[in-house]
Every structure is written in structure tokens, then in C-alpha cells.
């Protein structure tokens, strides 16, 4: 079995982002016919690490892409569609693309195959409206998941508000008002994210809709862009990775953190392992989402 290809550039510029996408050899736009959704975190009000308009704007515009998001399950400035759009506007996303809060008009169930925790996944209803998806993740730490990159962006990120609650409670409760009170094992939450990410990939494949995976590894803080009190970066920027395989792409990100000689890398490693974060990779691989075995191709 051939290794998954992961493309890598140390440069983090609008030009290198465009170049690494083109290296994947997939025209996600279908010659301009496809409606392309770009799943990116718009960042909680007060966060600072989210991907900035001047970096990703030219790339999203080249795809004629729409920024797609879903509302948060936790109380904050992005748990209603109207408020969420306001934060997206404040953070510059509406300056270069339309922003679609996909669960503004509801949600729908997609199947989870071979899952041990989730019976289904609940995703924003507007996901149906897109012909192709770019999973454009910001790689960083995360208070609950250890780290966030493509797998988290595809699981929690594409899940509706109720779907997020369902994943966070490991399939026990889809009500955001009560799900946070559900007791669960940390490893089960990590595996629930893998199941949801796999469900999205399976759904898109069944619909004949392509998806590509890109992770920008900058502003590497311990906490996520969903944290209103996000701290400063703990280590230097690593670059950008891109693949057609989300497991390989996330594995490459993790390997770069573990291979780094940056003294701050240890802090990020501790954050990830204290939350069982790396468990998402072998479990997602066991579900058939992708492979941890990859070939790194530097541009």
C-alpha cells in the first residue's frame, strides 16, 4: 500500500498557500462550476490566533469560496447565527467572502459507520449546498482535545450546535444546555471526534463531493481559536501542510511538534498528551479515514 502524500512548505504566505493547494493536483472548483465551502474557524471574540484575512483571503477568492461555519455549543459570541456573523465580520472574513453559518436553518443526520460512541453525526443543514469542501485548519493546541487541526475542524467544526454537544458528550446528549454535565472518559471524547470526522468524509464521498485538507501551522498557542482568552504562541511557526488524507496531514503536524527543537514545543506536547490528543490518529486510521503512514514532499 502506497504512503499518503503530504505536501509541506515552511513559508506561510498567500502565495505559498495557493502553491500547496495546487500541488494536490485537484481542481476543487470543477472548472469554476462547483460551489466551494471553505471550513475555517472564524475565532471566538477575543481570540487572536485564527487565520487572518490577508493570509487566506486571496486563496479563498481564487476558489470563489464561501466561508462555512456552525454555531458553538458553549455560551459565547458565536452560539447564534446573527452573533456569529458579527464576529466573522469583526475578524475580517466578510471582507473577502460570504460567510455561511451552516446550522442557521437547522441540521441533518449523517451515518456513523463502525462507531463505538456515536450513532450518527449532526451537521449543519447548509452542508448540502456545497459541491466541494476545503478543510482549511489552523494547527494549534486545544484545552479539551489536546490539539486542533484537520480532524477537529471536520468533526466539531462541521457539526451543528447540537451536533457539537452530541460529540462532546460521546453520543449521550445533543442538548447544549445539558450536554456539558455528562460525565465521560477523555479518550472516548477524542474517539468520538474521530467518528464524526469520518462520518463527514464518508458522507461527502457518497455524494461524490471532493474535499482537500490544508493546515496552517502558525501562532502555535496552547489554546484554540475558540478560546476568548487565547494565550500567546509557545513556539515558532512550522509552515503549511496539505494532503488528500486528513489523518496523514494531522500526523505530519504532530510529528513536526515532536521533532522540533524549539524549547516551547515541550509545552505543546504536554498539552496534547495530557488530553490524550494523539489517540485521535490511530483511532481515525482504524475507522478507515486515512493513514498515519505518509511521505512528506517539501515544496
CATH number of the domain that residue 142 is part of: 3.40.50
The mean pLDDT value for 65-88 works out to 89
Q: Does 1 score more than 80 pLDDT?
A: no
Q: How far is CA 94 from CA 89, 119, 125, 140, in A?
A: 5, 35, 21, 23
Q: What are phi and psi of 37, to 5 degrees?
A: -100, 130
The single residue listed with the C-alpha cell 495530557 is: 274
Record the cell numbers describing residue 177, joined without a space.
Answer: 444546555
Q: Does 76 score more than 80 pLDDT?
A: no
DSSP letter assigned to residue 278: G
Beta bridge partners of 136: 214
Q: Does 77 score more than 90 pLDDT?
A: no
Whole-angstrom Cα distance, residue 253 to residue 232?
19
The CA R_g of the chain, rounded to the nearest whole Å, is: 17
**Region of residue 105 (left: phi > 0; alpha: psi -120 to 50; beta: else):** alpha
Q: Does 260 score more than 90 pLDDT?
A: yes
* C-alpha angle 164-125-166 in degrees, rounded to nearest 5: 20
Percent of the chain with pLDDT over 90: 91
- The number of angstroms, rounded, from the C-alpha of 37 to the middle of its chain's C-alpha atoms is 13
- Per-residue confidence (pLDDT) for residue 100, from 0 to 100: 98
Mean pLDDT value across the chain = 96
- 3-class DSSP state for residue 288? coil
- What confidence category does residue 174 fall into, taking pLDDT thresholds of 50, 70 and 90? very high
Contacts of 275 (CB under 8 A, 6+ apart): 142, 143, 144, 145, 146, 186, 190
- What confidence category does residue 33 fall into, taking pLDDT thresholds of 50, 70 and 90? very high
The mean pLDDT value for 251-257 works out to 98
Whole-angstrom Cα distance, residue 215 to residue 24?
13
DSSP letter assigned to residue 220: B
The pTM assigned to this predicted structure is: 0.97
Whole-angstrom Cα distance, residue 132 to residue 127?
10
Whole-angstrom Cα distance, residue 226 to residue 205?
28
Range of the domain at 73: 4-298
Count the residues in the chain.
299
Between 83 and 8, the higher pLDDT residue: 8
Domain count, the chain: 1
The mean pLDDT value for 81-109 works out to 96
Pinpoint the alpha helices (H) of the chain: 14-23, 53-62, 81-90, 150-155, 161-168, 186-206, 246-259, 265-274, 280-286
Dihedral in degrees, nearest 10, Cα atoms 12, 18, 20, 25: 170
Amino acid at each position: 500500500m502506497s504512503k499518503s502524500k503530504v505536501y509541506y512548505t515552511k513559508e506561510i504566505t498567500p502565495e505559498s498557500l495557493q502553491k500547496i493547494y495546487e500541488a494536490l493536483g485537484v481542481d476543487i472548483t470543477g472548472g469554476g462550476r462547483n460551489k466551494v465551502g471553505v471550513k475555517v474557524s472564524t475565532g471566538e471574540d477575543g481570540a487572536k490566533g485564527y487565520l487572518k484575512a490577508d493570509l487566506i483571503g486571496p486563496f479563498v477568492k481564487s476558489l470563489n469560496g464561501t466561508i462555512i461555519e456552525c454555531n458553538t455549543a458553549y455560551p459565547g459570541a458565536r452560539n447564534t447565527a446573527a452573533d456569529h456573523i458579527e464576529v466573522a465580520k469583526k475578524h475580517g472574513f466578510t471582507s473577502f467572502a460570504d460567510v455561511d453559518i451552516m446550522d442557521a436553518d437547522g441540521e441533518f443526520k449523517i451515518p456513523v459507520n463502525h462507531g463505538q460512541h456515536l450513532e450518527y453525526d449532526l451537521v449543519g443543514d447548509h452542508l448540502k449546498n456545497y459541491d466541494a469542501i476545503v478543510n482549511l485548519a489552523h494547527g494549534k493546541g486545544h484545552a479539551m482535545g489536546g490539539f486542533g487541526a484537520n480532524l477537529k475542524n471536520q468533526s466539531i467544526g462541521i457539526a451543528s450546535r447540537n451536533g457539537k454537544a452530541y460529540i462532546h458528550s460521546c453520543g449521550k446528549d445533543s442538548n447544549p444546555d445539558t450536554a456539558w454535565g455528562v460525565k465521560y472518559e477523555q479518550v472516548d471524547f477524542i474517539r468520538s471526534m474521530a467518528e464524526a470526522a469520518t462520518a463527514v468524509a464518508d458522507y461527502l464521498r457518497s455524494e461524490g463531493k471532493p474535499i482537500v485538507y490544508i493546515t496552517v501551522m502558525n501562532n502555535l498557542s496552547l489554546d484554540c481559536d475558540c478560546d476568548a482568552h487565547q494565550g500567546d504562541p509557545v513556539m515558532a511557526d512550522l509552515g503549511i501542510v496539505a494532503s488528500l488524507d486528513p489523518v496523514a496531514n494531522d500526523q505530519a503536524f504532530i510529528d513536526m511538534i515532536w521533532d522540533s527543537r524549539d524549547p516551547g514545543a515541550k509545552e505543546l506536547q504536554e498539552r496534547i498528551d495530557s488530553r490524550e490528543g494523539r489517540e485521535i490518529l490511530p483511532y481515525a486510521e482504524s475507522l478507515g479515514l486515512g493513514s498515519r503512514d505518509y511521505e512528506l514532499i517539501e515544496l
